[in-house]
Amino acid sequence: MRPEALNPLFIEARDLDGVGPKMMKPLEKLGLTRVKDLAYHLPERFVTRRVISDLDEGSEGEQVIIGLTPTEHRASRNPGRGPYSVLAQDDAGNICSLTYFGRASYTAKKQLPVGEKRWVAGRLDRYGDMLQIVHPDHIEKDSAAHLARLNEPVYRLSEGLTQPRLASLTAQSLERLPELPEWIEPGQFESSGWPAWRDAMHLAHKDMNERARDRLAYDELLANSLALILVKAEGRRRKGQALAGDGSLRAKLDLPFEMTGAQKRSIDEIEGDLQQEAPMLRLLQGDVGAGKTVVALAAMLVAVEAGKQAAMLAPTEILARQHFETLRKMAAPTGVEVAILTGRAKGKEREGILMGLLDGSIDILVGTHAIFQDTVGYKDLGLVVIDEQHRFGVQQRLALAAKGKRAPHTLAMTATPIPRSLTLAQYGEMDVSRLDELPPGRQAIDTRVVPQERLEDMIAGVERHIASGQQAYWVCPMVRESETDDIAAAEARYALLKERFGDDVVMVHGQLTPDIKDANMERFASGGAKLLVATTVIEVGVDVPSSTLMVIEQAERFGLAQLHQLRGRVGRGSEKSVCVLLRGNELSETGRKRLALMRETQDGFRIAEEDLELRGGGELLGTRQSGEAAFRIANLEQVQKLLPIAHADARMLIEHDGGLSSARGEAARQLLYLFERDWGVQLLRGG
């Protein structure tokens, strides 16, 4: 049960003053549905204003507060389109235009009556010969009210919310904050000079207080580390089963290649874990094409040699079918029975698979989430392999334990190389194996950067490529054209290419229904279509060896890791492959560096580290695709600086400072509930 002291933080936002059904919509878009969400919605920046007595004191572009008296209202000759202007003068008689667009003119009529002085806060600019303030931020009657506007927070908004409205709701939330006991280790708290939790929350909304923000980021990182350590400790306490394979099945494998040193090392690490009674929880981190599937098969064969079953969980049906075909072919010489179960399996087909799992005649099962439904039972499940780890949270991993007579071993895999500095944040409860070598003989992908104005040349090149019997991908950053942007959209590009190539083109993006998406993808994978136009839904897992050309449009708009994953969709066969990065004309320095690095290297681990450096500390982890490991408060710079300390602090508490039953441990329980690390909280109930 949640500690009673935290209840005020979980009050619904709709219970605050001034929040009705209409206001809840934009709040829900921002995820601000409770008091604690609003309190933790920290300002992105602060506007610092200066009080001036007359307009001559202000500088163009400066944020000011000034007393002005409206003298005339001027409506546009074209109502609804042109500006609505209110001419106003300062005490010295200097004239300024307060300019409004759209419906905001109604506000101007009410707030700026002619002849009555008002205090106006906003940015002073010039349009032609006239000074102006466009859409003033605040208009006050009281001369003292402007003092509160001198250092004003600026919050991230959604349509239907204004800064003053959100600031009012945040202020109400801060008033409800309870006093909570200190969960940070006393020595760390003292040396850091951080404020107490409640004080830090208030200070973070007043200015860019670095100590307050670091304190709040540390809390989030500490909660995450604690939860992950609890999961790991719980896993070690649970009764698993030692799996000792005799090597008989692995000896029958007839692989058409020599395994790399990294693959052999990883298999040894996994085999060592499987021989322990404590359930394995290991992450296999491999670059694009590093050979994770072979390592996973070796691990599953160890389980089968030990008389157990293994299951592989894939995030999509397309990927599940690809894994099934690959594993079935590789495992054929061993005689091991491999089956697939997805949501599509119905009637007798499904019944046959379920019976095979229960009687043990199926050794290895591949599938989507369907393989862990309540109706699916196993004779003796010993190992679970989870592909594309970032798509599955800790909660799902914990739920797998219920499927075995004893807790099965878990091997998670990801093809997204993660900087070492972030591994703790995402996988703090897991041991990590890294495949940092590519198989010998794998050809480097020829990466080229081409300007957007050569689009027609590029299409002609694709035409020649298809005519030679090969396939190609064309990736766009958006599904549809934006009204205000020129980003190439998948639908617009698909329409253009379909005119040229007819039925040889298919399209895949996230807004298509799963059936259409799967059918289009299968048509391309089988060779029925020669060109696949797509968004980043093909970033992970799609394997079509005969596709040897990748075109990425507006490439500068993608992150490095994303570009690397997309490029990894080609170069999967014996043919030479090419990746073309079509760039826009306005290239930032960061964009230029990204594209240059893509040409220079194909080492995903180096790319991941460089990507982190290029993005810098300002970009939140939440912009990445990392599921629940995304942080709301901590930015990348804080993660790099504070996570190792927080992880050590969490470990010290659990292993040496009395755990969660000590005085600080009781406070740490509140921290876990505060940050809703539910999968850690579930484990608290047992101790």
The residue type of 333 is P
pLDDT of residue 362: 97
| Range 364-389 average pLDDT | 87
* 387-399: average pLDDT: 61
489-501 pLDDT, tens digit per residue, is 788 899 999 999 9
- pLDDT in the model for residue 685: 43
pLDDT band at 629, cuts 50/70/90? very low
Query: Measured in whole angstroms, how far is the alpha carbon of residue 130 from the centre of its chain?
Result: 46
Report pLDDT digits (tens) over 338-355: 999 987 778 888 999 999
Residue with tokens 């054209």: 481
Q: Whole-angstrom Cα distance, residue 512 to residue 64? A: 49
Plot region of 616 (φ>0 → left; ψ -120 to 50 → alpha; else → beta): left
Tell whether the model's pLDDT for residue 291 goes beyond 80. Answer: yes
> Residue 626 pLDDT more than 60?
no
The band of 623, judged by pLDDT with boundaries at 50, 70 and 90, is: very low
Mean pLDDT (the chain, rounded): 86
Beta pairing, strands 95-100 & 130-134:
parallel
Is 394 a residue whose pLDDT tops 70?
no
Percent of the chain at pLDDT > 70 equals: 89
The yes-or-no verdict on residue 2 having pLDDT over 70 is yes
Q: Are 294 and 263 in contact (CB under 8 A)?
A: yes
pLDDT at 640: 84
The continuous run of DSSP H or E covering 433 comes out as: strand 431-435
Percentage, residues of the chain above pLDDT 90: 52
Q: Which of 186-200, 415-429, 592-606 has the lowest mean pLDDT?
A: 415-429
3-class state of residue 530 by DSSP = coil
pLDDT of residue 621: 31
Q: What are phi and psi of 561, to 5 degrees?
A: -60, -40
* % helix, strand, coil for the chain, step of 5: 45, 20, 35
Tens digit of pLDDT for each residue in 551-583? 999 898 888 878 888 898 888 777 889 999 999
| pLDDT higher than threshold 50 for residue 414 | yes
Q: Within 13 Å of residue 304, how many CA atoms lie on the same side as its CB?
A: 25
Two tokens, residue 25 = 């919509």
How many CB atoms sit inside 10 A of residue 216's CB?
Answer: 25
Which tops the pLDDT comparison, 175 or 287?
Answer: 175
What's the pLDDT at 392?
57
Query: Which pLDDT value is given to residue 442?
Result: 72
Residue-level pLDDT at 26: 93
Joined tokens for residue 256: 């058409």
The whole-number average pLDDT for the span 139-146 is 76
In sequence order, which residues have a C-beta less than 8 Å from that of residue 504 and are 6 or more positions away?
A: 466, 529, 530, 531
pLDDT digits (tens, 9 = 90+) for 32-89: 999 999 999 999 999 989 999 999 999 999 999 999 999 999 988 776 677 889 999 9
**Greatest mean pLDDT among 268-277, 435-444, 559-568:** 268-277
**What average pLDDT score do residues 82-98 get?**
93
Query: Tokens 């594309």, residue?
Result: 388
CA distance 297 to 387: 12
CB–CB of 415/565 below 8 Å? yes
**230-249 pLDDT per residue, tens:** 877 776 777 788 999 999 99
Q: Taking the mean position of all CA atoms in its chain, how far away is CA 75?
A: 46
Q: Which of 225-239, 518-532, 643-657 has the lowest mean pLDDT?
A: 225-239
Give the pLDDT of residue 246: 94
pLDDT score of 385 more than 90: yes
| Tens digits of residue pLDDT in 71-84 | 999 988 776 677 88
Give the per-residue pLDDT at 517: 84
Look at residue 620 and tell me whether its pLDDT is greater than 80: no
For residue 680, pLDDT beyond 50: yes
Q: Which of 4, 1, 23 is nearest to 159 (CA)?
A: 23
Nearest CA to 63 out of 49, 73, 44, 75 is that of 49
